[in-house]
Every structure is written in structure tokens, then in C-alpha cells.
Amino acid sequence: MNDVTKEPNLLDPRERLIVALDFPSADAAMGLVERLQGCCRWFKVGMELYYATGNRVIEGLRERGYDVFLDLKLHDIPNTVAGAVRSVTGEGASLLTIHAGGGERMMRAAAEAANAPGAPKLLAVTVLTSMDEEDLHAVGVAGDPAAQVLRLARLAQAAGIDGLVCSAEEVEAVRAAMGPQARLVVPGIRPTGVGGGDDQRRVASAAEAIARGATMLVVGRPITQAADPAQAAAGILAEIAATL
């Protein structure tokens, strides 16, 4: 098995694109993987696919030479989250998400659990890209998403977390706050000139996100629901390459 803690080659656009396998079955996910013809190196396995297939899908991706971003957004008491991190250690995922909203003690417990051979690097999710200021106010968070993201970013860094998930709207400020070594993963990516049109609120193009300081980009429906997924992925890669 490859070293799951490897760093992406930031000069290779394929290492900076993570395709989201938001499918209900391994067959559907692997069908898309085959159609992409190796034009990316990373795939995201989220809750829908992981709960349906377990570690089998991670194993299948690793056997094909891909890296896995396991997006489980763990959020519970510190002991439970630390146990979950230990449970997935050694299964082959390179990245794993936890919710920054769980607080510093929870994130610190997760970071300690991830300090083991074969453990994935942790990314703290700040404010979901489906949320806007009105959504935050509805759950009792004053201020705008940018302020909340920066607050959680500093908390995550203090807890020893490797990187962050945030939208392109906040990534420049987060990069300035966390420094050049932080791994900043940005979802909500849409092809240039294409808006949200779905449940994503805070979106940007690949070029915009990379220019603002994103390390890696997560792209789902613009690729997975395209008539030609490989061509759609090639378009995103070309945007990334033009920005490097």
C-alpha cells in the first residue's frame, strides 16, 4: 500500500483535483472511475457511498492506484471521534474530515488519534458551502460565513489539525491566517461561467479557487453528471493548469 500521508505534487493539476464519488453503490462509483480514464489521482468517498459499501470501495480505489479523501465529517464527543479515527486508520484513506464545530477538545483528540502509522491526515470542515449568512443566523451563529470560517480555522490550527475545508470565498483569508503549509481543500467548484444551480451557495471556478490559495479542489456534479465526464474533468484540469 502506498504511503497514505503523501503530499500532492502541486505542479501537477491531476494531483489538485478530487472528484466526488457521490453515488449509492460501488458499481456506480467504479463505473465513473473507469470513464474518467485516469485524468485525476484523487477521489472523494462521502457518507452516502461509504455507508453503502464500507472499506470495500476504498480498497478498490487504492488497488487502481488512486488516493482517497474520506469525507465523513466526524462530529461527536472527543472520545468517540478519536475512536472513529483509529477505526479507519490503516484502511487506505489519505485524508479524513472532521467538523471544526465539534470544538478544540474534539479536534485535539482526533489529531492525537491520527498520530499513528497508516493514519489519514485530518481536515477540519468549517462552514458547509451549502450554507449562507441566513443559514448561520438560523442556527445561532452571528456574523457572516467568512468570520465563522476564520474563527474555526484558527481553532483547528491550535488543535493540531493538518488542514481545512472551506469555500473559495474564504480561502484567501484562511491561507493568510494559517500559512503556506496548510492544506486547504475547496468544494463548490463550478466551470467558469456556470453558477450554482443546486444546493451549493458559495461557489467559484477552479481558476478562482487556485488563484486565491486553494491546495486542492473537490468537484462533483459538474463532472459526474456531465455527458462526457472525462471531457468535463479535462476542462477543470485546464483551468487549474492555466493558474499554476
Catalytic positions, please? 73
214 touches 181 (CB < 8 A): no
Judge whether 42 and 17 are in contact, CB under 8 Å: yes
Confirm if 217 and 206 have CB atoms less than 8 A apart. Answer: yes
Cell of 121: 491526515
CB 38 within 8 A of CB 237: no
Host H or E run for residue 103: none
- Residue 67: all three cell numbers together: 488516493
Cα–Cα distances (Å) from 172 to 111, 122, 176, 194, 215, in that order, read 24, 20, 6, 21, 11
Per-residue cell: 206: 477552479
